[in-house]
Amino acid sequence: MLRSLFFSPRIRRVAVPSSPLGPTLAMDNNNRSRTTDSSVQTNPRIQKLQQIVKTDASAGWEESWKQGVTPWDLGRPTPVILHLHHSGSLPMGRVLVPGCGTGYDVVAMACPGRYVVGLDISEEAIKKAKQMSSSLPNADNFTFIEANFFSWRPTDLFDLIFDYTFFCAILPEMRLAWAQQIQNFLKPDGELVTLMFPMDDHAGGPPFKVSIEDYEEVLHPMGFKAVSIVDNELAIEARKGREKLGRWKRGVGHSSL
């Protein structure tokens, strides 16, 4: 059953805390929120992104970062991640954020007891992430790595993986391989948090449309079951009604490096 906000009864409806990245990003967020992903089919920045990726699928993401065509980038941490972090609802330990981009969510979750790895295939994205975060007070609690998620091999397993705007960016035929890597990277008792977006019925991509069934189709064979799937009530205005927060766990099974 879908329940309001999050699955844990100890999480109350509270105001989202201010960004640990400072007021500059917060001031820019209002403008970004109105223009980010308002409609996949009519947003000119998304159409430009699709043209870039279609022209050169292998180097398209790097080119999109160089041209500043990053319509998925909120310019600050994802509000629901801030909420989960500040309410103590995320596990400690090692965390992976695939497709981390500028790394706002990486920085937001990083703290003593939680070490966060931001992974992105784009050299330019990782460069921007490092420039943004190198002087922050929690810099010892996170790192950024330029690598392909589908061929990367971490040295240690993770307690938590957070996916947002990554599952929807890859070709649908790559989703089973995505789930296999999630299984390989997580500890047997680890947790996967998916912010499912965009949940609509547009054609083409990226971003490609997603549904709960799309996630279940590839995660169930890997032994994952949803602990909770709820509407994301903290979604930015332009994405309201098109996001759900999923939390997934699995039984003890195979994990490999």
CATH of the domain at 164: 3.40.50.150
Q: What is the mean pLDDT of residues 181-205?
A: 95
Spatial CA neighbour of 216 closest among 200, 196, 187: 196
- 217: in domain: yes
User: Does 2 fall in a domain?
Assistant: no
* Residue 196 counted as domain residue: yes
Assess if residue 20 is contained within a domain: no
Strands 93-98 and 158-164: parallel
CA pseudo-torsion sign 172, 3, 15, 135 = negative
Tell me whether residue 127 is in a domain: yes
Give residue 101's pLDDT: 96
Residue 122 lies in a domain: yes
139: three-class secondary structure by DSSP:
helix
Measured distance CA(247)–CA(191) in Å, rounded: 7
Can you give the pLDDT at residue 60? 86
Query: In this prediction, what percent of the chain has a pLDDT beyond 70?
Result: 81
Q: Note down the domain range covering 183.
A: 74-250
CB 149 within 8 A of CB 180: no
pLDDT band at 9; cut points 50, 70, 90: very low
The pLDDT value recorded for residue 37 is: 52
135, 137, 140, 146 alpha-carbon torsion, rounded to 10°? -40
Helix (H, G, I), strand (E, B) or coil at 85: helix
Whole-structure pTM value: 0.83
Count the domains in the chain. 1
Residue 157 maps to a domain: yes
pLDDT in the model for residue 41: 60
Question: Is residue 17 over pLDDT 80?
Answer: no
Q: Is 55 inside a domain boundary?
A: no
Q: Would the pLDDT of 45 be above 90?
A: no
How confident is the prediction for the chain on average, in pLDDT?
A: 85
Residue 131: exposure state from Cβ atoms within 10 A (0-12, 13-18, ≥19)? exposed
Q: What angle do CA 88, 80, 128 make, to 5 degrees?
A: 105
